[in-house]
Amino acid sequence: MTQHPVAELRENPSLASSGKGNLAPSTFQILHSKSLGGRFAQQSNFISDLEEIVPNFYSAIGYALKAWQKPAPKIRRGRDEAQGVSTDAISDEAESYEPS
């Protein structure tokens, strides 16, 4: 498992993949903790602390979460002009294509 504080990941997202080679993340969990000490034993304190923690978590972390989207493909060199995407240019490239 890889664990990092959100503040560090926001500054340097590559921390999550550091030392992982070509592995890609498939899931993640976000944990927010607060030490309640002896307050946890009293139900009324627990509820009031919970009512404070949940909105704080959402404003600090939850609102910024969104589904991952693959970035748009980049235009290859030679494809940024009309001649580069003509049927003749694409046909020529297809004839010389050799799969790796």
* Mean pLDDT for the chain overall: 79
The string of pLDDT tens digits covering residues 61-81 is: 888 888 878 887 676 666 666
The rounded distance, in Å, linking the Cα atoms of 26 and 5 is 19
pLDDT band at residue 32, thresholds of 50, 70 and 90?
confident
Query: Do the Cβ atoms of 85 and 79 come closer than 8 Å?
Result: yes
In the chain, pLDDT over 90 holds for what percent of residues?
A: 2
pTM, 2 dp: 0.46
| Average pLDDT score over residue span 75-97 | 71
The rounded distance, in Å, linking the Cα atoms of 23 and 94 is 32
Q: Which H or E run includes 95?
A: helix 87-95
